[in-house]
Every structure is written in structure tokens, then in C-alpha cells.
Structure 1
Amino acid sequence: PTSGVIYEADGFILTSRFNMSGTIRKNGIKVTLWDGRQLPGTFVGSDEQRDIGLVKIDAKDLPVLPRADAPAVGQGTLVALIGRSPDKSNPTVNAGILSATSRMNKTAVQTDAEMNYGNAGGALLTLKGELIGVACNIKPDTVWGQSGGVGFACKTAEIDNLLGRMKNGEHIPAPKRPFLGIRAGEGNPDVEGIQIVDVMKDSPAEKAGIKKEDVLVELGGVKITDSESMKEALEPRKIGEEVELKVMRKAKEGWQEKTFKLKLEGRAEP
């Protein structure tokens, strides 16, 4: 089971695309409403990048949450994440703050409210009960689907821009983006930059000679201090473009700066 948000009164419900697995769609979707009614649902459309799925049920005059005023909802705003529970009359509620207002290529907000497979697709609300976004992007490689203190919710403005296409039956694939082929961890206590915790096989980074435990300090002339600055440095780049990376590599003599050139490949990244 997963969570969902009634988005339009005539039976359109938003949920997490990831949680709408092929098995669920094959076996049929059953939607349980707040009042205990159970209705069959149809998986109408989706957006892979934003991890949003649209389900339609045959119902009218459903209650719809008021939308939050986006400019008024800033960093540090207290929020609540509402999700499904085995007890239909008592949904789960996880409290937190809005820790960032522009994540996932500016399509989502970030919160420290605990997020997991169960409440993915649920409503992220202000304490006035206004809808900020829909919980999304719980990755399959996280431990038991836990957010690890960082969760994301697709902004309502993004959803509004896509709603017409999803209603028309579109399943929108994630666009291909420039891809390095590294997985970044936290910073390194000895060197400013981000620690590379994994280098993917046959990726541009591996082909260029970048290694696990290198510390990435510069990408295309842009100083790298965290994962977000790495994403921002990659954003204007094009697939096939050659880019220069500077890393610090630990040797017997101490940390040494090394420079690599690699050609960016494209990969669809939700």
C-alpha cells in the first residue's frame, strides 16, 4: 500500500510513481478513501523525473486541500507529512521543517520529516493544512525505503504544469542529463570538496581514471563543496561535452591534486 492525495474533486488522486509498480497495475488499483470507501482506480499518467503518478476513481465532490502560497512558504517553515496507516481512521503524521525550497532540479522541496515507502505519495502540509507538495523520490537503494533524514516533495506548481498531460494518458519519461558516473558522499575532514564513495563501471568517470575515495574539488572551473554544487555545475553542461575535473587523491606523500578530462554521457535520472 502507498499514500495518495486527492488533487481534484472529480476523482483525480496523486501518488508516488515509484510505488505504482507493474504488479500493482496488473492486479488492479484499489483506493481507500478517508471515510472507508474502497473504489477501483485507473493509473492514468505519470512523470518519471518528479516521481508522480495520477490515479482516477469514479467519484465526485471529493474534498481537496487548499494550496499553500509558495512565496510565503520559506526555508524553516514547520511542516507535516501525512501518510497511510494500517488503521484507516488514523493516518501517520511526521513533523519537520522545510529545509530547502529548490531541490531535484528545482522541481521539489526538501524536508527532514521522516519519509518512507508507506508515506511516499502523501501530502506535505503547512501547519494550517495547506498543500505544499506530494512526497516523492524514495529511492530503491535506501535502507528499507527510509529517507535518512532527507525527503522530497514535488511542488504543486510543477504538478499543475504536468496535470493536463497526465490526464491525457501520458507517462512522461525522465529527460537524459549529463552523467559523470560517481556517487558522492559527505565532505572530507582533510580536504574541502566531496568524497567519491563509488565510481560506476564503464562510466565517464571510470574511463577517465577517477577512483573511489578521491575528493572532487572542481568541475568545469566551478568549486565543488557539496552534492548540490556538483549538480549545479553539471546543469548547464551538454551530453557529449568534454569537461575538466579536479580531484584530490591521497598518496603516501599526502594529498595530491589531479586533473582529468572526460566526455559527459547521457542518462535518464529521475
Structure 2
Amino acid sequence: MSPRARGMATLGLGLLMGAGAALWLSEGPGRRPAVGHAEAGETLSSSRRNAIVVAAERASPAVVSVSVVTTRVVRADPFGGLFHDEFFERFYPPMEYRERIPGLGSGAIVDPAGLILTNEHVVRNADQITVTLTDGRQFPATLLGATPTYDLAVLKVNGKNLPAAPLGDSDHLLVGEWAIAIGNPFGYLLNDTQPTVTAGVISATRRDIKAEATESGVYKNMIQTDAAINPGNSGGPLVNGDGEVIGINTFIFTQGGGSLGIGFAIPINLARRVLGEIQRYGHVRAAWPGMLVQPVTPYLARRLSLTDLGGLIVTRVDPGGPAARAGVRVGDRIRRVNGRVINSVDDAQSSIYGAAVGDRIQLAIERGDRRLDLGLTLAEAPREEP
């Protein structure tokens, strides 16, 4: 055999051996056959159905769009501000007319009977409230009750086969667990009723927001999330990976009106308590401790011979009120409320924020050289005479 022939034979043998080795490697012991297109498609489909998808499918049907119409009085100068004279103002007063202002928010059906949770600021001063479900049905809504203190409102619609979102437990949230915000941001620009779903995590819990940071009210014990919350999301649910409502989306920190990944939701356990109060009493009863307190100022510390500025001084005890029944006296120094160190009125408010009538709070006080632990049961605040 010529050298060329021997070379060709060697090359052919090498190719056959390579092909045989490749075949043995692909079908040898411990190797699985290649996955077919159908199996690959099934694997892909199952991998897409993650916790976010399942949670959104469970909660989305109960998310509603809340459309409101409010009326405001507008004053217009017929001369466009040209004349600022008592004569003209007397005989040509500014014109007044009523302007109807539309607004939009979100909400969540939490009871098949048609009870809906949303934010109070969404329906504040509303003359007309309309609720739109994800299936396209629309219902006029009645405001059962609202509380500006907690920025929560309860609406009622009359309908059949209404979906209801399951409620979770906001007292045992884990920082880093899934948080899914569902609502209708910029719903007035969209031509369908499908809610928008955004996902993130629980960034923090028990956040207290300074009063100057918002215009709607005082917010304490809030849930912070980086799930995108935009205008129109207010009142919609924040749900966990199981599709349970854990909060009511309320506001964001923003510089230009859009989401920066710093959003806040009212814990659902507080919302559940507000819902129960409105269902039973028609309003949220204000819890009342029956006393007034003030911070320890340097002047007050000198007058009372106190060595530090911590705690709060009781300046008034209402006769027959909860504090009086608990044994609190004027001049007592409150050091802790429910185990939390108190150095300001804001600290005290935070420690009992969300407390209801009938709840019992523990006070650690100093009375001269004595230290006392007193239990105080909150009562309903007396209503002011009209």
C-alpha cells in the first residue's frame, strides 16, 4: 500500500473511531437522550409559572379600579386681575362656578358581599364613586366609612359572584420576601380593565414616616417595598408570594412623580381592624388614654429636679378616664409604653399607633423615687358637643 493510501486509511479509521466515540458518549451509560422540542416547551412553561405569576393570578381578579368625581368651587376675576379696586370688587365681584374633577385609584375586594378596601385620600370629598372590576363590570359604590387618621376607606358595591382577595398576616413579614403591587396606575390612559402587576421585595417593615414627608396624614408602622408604585396604584393591594394581601399601597417617595423604588403600604392587619370597626360601628372609634403629656424640656427638668430629659411628663389626667382608673397621676414620668422607650410625643404615638378601643397598654412610670408598672385600657374618646 502506498504511503498516500495508508494515510487515507488512517484518516478514515480516525473519523470512524471519532464518530463511534461520539455515539458512545452521547448514548453511553448514565447519559440521557436529547430533550425533544415538546418536552423543552413543557419545561419552559412550568418554569415561567413562578411565585409571582401564581400570586398575581390569585389576587388580580379582586383588584378594582376606583373612579371618583369631586366638585370644587373656582373663583375667576372677570377682568383678569387688571383692576384691584374696592369699587370694581363691589359691583363686579369675582365669578364663581363649580368644576367637576375626576380622580382615579385602586382598591381590593376583601369580602364576597362587596366590601372594598382603599385609601381615604382616593375617595376624599367624592360626589360620585364608580368601581370597575377586571371582568369589565361596573358598579356604583357607597362609602361605608373612612378614617383620615389611618388613610383607609371602606366601600360597598352590590353585585353577584364577586371575587375576594385572601388576607395575609402583616405582623410576620420577612424582609426580602416577594412583594407584588397590583393596581391601575395611569388607568385613565389605558383602554382595558386589566390591572398592572409589578414585583419587588419587602424592603423594610415598621417604618415611621415624618409628618412633613406626606400631605395625606401621619403614617406609622408602614411596609416599605421596591415594587413599582405609580399614580393610580393608591388603594390597591400589596400581596405576598402566596397571593395574600399584606398591605394597601398608599404613597411613594419621588422626585418627579414616578416610582424610585421606595413605596409604602399600610399593613393589612391595621386595615382589617379598621374594616371591622366600620362594619360594626359605622366609623373608626378613636382610642383615648384620658391624659395629656409633654416632653421633658430643660426648663421642666430644672423645675422638677430631673437629671435627664428622657420620658414624658403627665400634665393632665381626665377624671374618670382610662389613665385615672389605671392610677396615673399628674407629674408622673412615663418612661416606656408597651416596652418601648419614650422620649417624645411621637414615640408615644408610635407605640400605640393602630391601637383600638379596649386594647390594654403597659406603662412604665416613675413617681419620685418609685418605679411603677401600670396597665391602662383604652376607651372611646368623648365626642365633642355640636
Q: Same fold (TM over 0.5)?
A: yes
Percent identity over the alignment?
35
- Give distance in 2, aligned partners of 1:178 and 1:112: 37
- Give distance in 2, aligned partners of 1:80 and 1:61: 25
Cα offset, 1:135, TM superposition: 0.8
Partner of 1:40: 140
1:121 and 2:221 are equivalent in the alignment: no
1:88 and 2:192 are equivalent in the alignment: yes
**Counterpart amino acid of residue 88 in structure 1:** D
Partner of 1:101: 205
Count of matched residue pairs: 189
Higher helix share: 2
Residue 6 of structure 1 aligns to a residue whose secondary structure is strand
Residues 1:94 and 1:31: Cα distance change in structure 2 (over 3 Å): same
Deviates more, 1:10-19 or 1:166-175: 166-175
Partner of 1:131: 245
**Counterpart amino acid of residue 157 in structure 1:** N
| Structure 1 outlier segments of 4+, above 3 Å | 69-72, 104-107, 142-148, 171-175, 177-180, 219-222, 232-238
TM-score (ref. length: structure 2): 0.42
- Choose 1 or 2 for highest CA Rg: 2
**Counterpart amino acid of residue 58 in structure 1:** N
Cα offset, 1:102, TM superposition: 1.2
TM-score (ref. length: structure 1): 0.59
Alignment of 1:201-220 (within 5 A): none
Cα offset, 1:179, TM superposition: 11
Higher strand share: 1
Deviations 1:189-242 (A, max 9, x none): xxxxxxxxxxxxxxxxxxxxxxxxxxxxxx9569xxxxxxxxx8533459xxxx
Residues 1:150 and 1:8: Cα distance change in structure 2 (over 3 Å): same
Deviates more, 1:28-37 or 1:97-106: 97-106
Cα offset, 1:144, TM superposition: 5.7
Deviations 1:40-67 (A, max 9, x none): 0011111223211111111244222222
Residue 141 of structure 2 aligns to a residue whose secondary structure is strand
RMSD: 3.6
Does the 8 A contact of 1:132 with 1:155 survive in 2? yes
Cα offset, 1:103, TM superposition: 2.2
Alignment of 1:72-87 (within 5 A): 72-84=172-184, 85=187, 86-87=190-191
1:13 and 2:126 are equivalent in the alignment: no
Partner of 1:163: 275
* Structure 2 residues without counterparts, runs of 5 or longer: 1-103, 209-218, 296-307, 312-341, 350-386
Larger RCO: Structure 1 or Structure 2 (Cα < 8 Å, ≥ 6 residues apart)?
Answer: 1
1:3 and 2:117 are equivalent in the alignment: no
